[in-house]
Amino acid sequence: MKPVTLILRGLLVLAALLVLLPLVWTLLNAFKTNADLLVSTPKLIFAPVWDNMDYVLGRRSVSRALMNSLVVCSYAVLLGAVLGVPAAYVIARIKNRATQEAQFFALSLRFLPPVAVAIPMMVIWLGLDMYDSRPALIITYMTITVSITIWLSVPAFERVPIAIEEAARVDRLGPYAVFFRIALPVAKLQVLSAIAFSFILVWNEFLLAMMLTTSRAKTLPIIASEMSQLGMSVPWGILNAAVVLLSLPPLILLALVGTGLNTAFSKKSSE
């Protein structure tokens, strides 16, 4: 191996460790007792305990927040996909002033600082007497899921060769059949990745949830953050266990659609 290659490999390993070590550390700490945690030299070898996990999973607030997160995110993502994917197809296929503006509008939703959305939303939901409810959070989150689904699905549909759709029209397919039978299956992987990414974004969302919920509709990130305020001393083990629990669904999703997600972001053509 050439020395340059060796150095570059070393750099890669270093970069990977920079990303992975804190995660591994969090994972380990989730299974430590406070005695093992609060030592000046981090322990790698220790007797793992389930106490932290048990505590987190055993709390009613956590299980309710988990349900809230699952329901709110699933609906927001589902509705975002139902609205966003066909919209992306139209934007990709019909190029005119209106669709260009629509595409930019979808992106511009993400330019707004969340606080600028949260305060008016809070007023609206309070006025409608829907504050601190799942539907309110679902509809608010749809602004995120719809815009991300559109933004990431447009390039996916643009990569479907137009000639394939023309061949389908010659094969007697109408516009809806062309979308469902041809364009959607061909762009499937990247569209799914776009949807998965929108799920991860709303799953991790903190600020809007904090401002729009007080008790009933609290999501997992809110509960996880509350764990840090449990007492005089920070309960590190419990906090770490909550973080691990919170990270699992996005990680599983990433593993499932990881490759597709990568192509959706880099503009490489997919075969």
Partner 1 sequence: MATVECRNIRKCYGELEVIRDFNLSIQDHEFVVFLGPSGCGKSTLLRMVAGLEDITGGDLLIGGARMNDRDPGDRGIAMVFQNYALYPHMTVRHNITFGLERTGVGKAEIERRLTPVVDALGLAIYLDRKPVELSGGQQQRVAIARAMIKTPEVFLFDEPLSNLDAKLRGHLRVEIARLHKTLKSTSIYVTHDQLEAMTLADRIVLMNQGRIEQMGTPEEIYSRPATLFAAGFIGTPNMNFMQFEVEGGALRDGLIHLPAPAGAQGQVTLGIRPGSVEVLPDAAEGSLPALVERDEFHGETRLVSLRCGTHSLMASVPAHMALQEGQELHIRLPEDKLHYFDTQTGQRLD
Which residues in this chain contact partner 1 in the complex, by CB under 8 A?
161, 163-164, 166-174, 177, 182, 185-186, 188, 271
Residue 48 or 161: the one with the smaller Cβ distance to partner 1 is 161
Min dist. Cβ of residue 202 to partner 1 (A) = 29
> What CA–CA distance (Å, rounded) separates 145 from 84?
8
What's CA 142's distance to the chain center, in Å? 13
Residue 10 or 174: the one with the smaller Cβ distance to partner 1 is 174
The closest of 57, 42, 20 to 241, measured between CA atoms, is 57
Residue 54 or 171: the one with the smaller Cβ distance to partner 1 is 171
Residue 118 or 192: the one with the smaller Cβ distance to partner 1 is 192
Min dist. Cβ of residue 181 to partner 1 (A) = 8
Min dist. Cβ of residue 109 to partner 1 (A) = 32
Q: Is 229:244 a contact under the CB 8 Å cutoff?
A: no
Residue 178 or 202: the one with the smaller Cβ distance to partner 1 is 178
Residue 42 or 174: the one with the smaller Cβ distance to partner 1 is 174
Min dist. Cβ of residue 271 to partner 1 (A) = 6
CA distance from start to end of the chain: 32
Min dist. Cβ of residue 257 to partner 1 (A) = 17
Min dist. Cβ of residue 168 to partner 1 (A) = 7
